[in-house]
Amino acid sequence: MARPHKGSESAHSRSRARSQSRVERLRAVPWTTLLQGGVVVGRRWIGLSPKDRARLTELIRASRGLPGNLSEKERRELRKIAGRLDLRGMGAELLALRRMRKLRRRH
């Protein structure tokens, strides 16, 4: 998505954004939503066996976030363990949290 041209932003909104203190920006973070998201992810993580958690951690570190850095065998293993995390279900739960947050802001 293209960013709007810098000149299209009003001087007032730019100065207001700069004047926000660090505390104000921290207060604007949706902390409850972030914590609920952490609980969702944590539940899935704890649902893995200790052996799977250790191996998944090894694979992610070895890949440095890029699955192409792993061998084909390691990528298959990563997909197998990730499948046990039920990423689709986790995504659905996280989207539900987002929807709930949007609904709360409307009221």
The pLDDT tens digits for 20-72 are 777 776 676 667 777 888 888 888 888 889 999 999 999 989 999 888 899 99
pLDDT score of 89: 82
% of the chain residues with pLDDT over 90: 21
Place of tokens 């802001």: 105
Q: How far apart are CA 91 and CA 99, in angstroms?
A: 12
Helix, strand, coil shares of the chain as percentages rounded to 5? 80, 0, 20
Total Cβ atoms within 10 A of residue 12 = 8
Alpha-carbon distance 66 to 41, whole Å? Answer: 20
Query: Locate tokens 């440095």: which residue?
Result: 64
* Residue 73 binned pLDDT confidence (cut-offs 50, 70, 90): very high
Sign of the Cα torsion 37, 38, 43, 45 reads positive
Q: CA-CA distance, 35 to 94, in Å (whole number)?
A: 11
Question: 83 and 48 in contact (C-beta within 8 Å)?
Answer: no
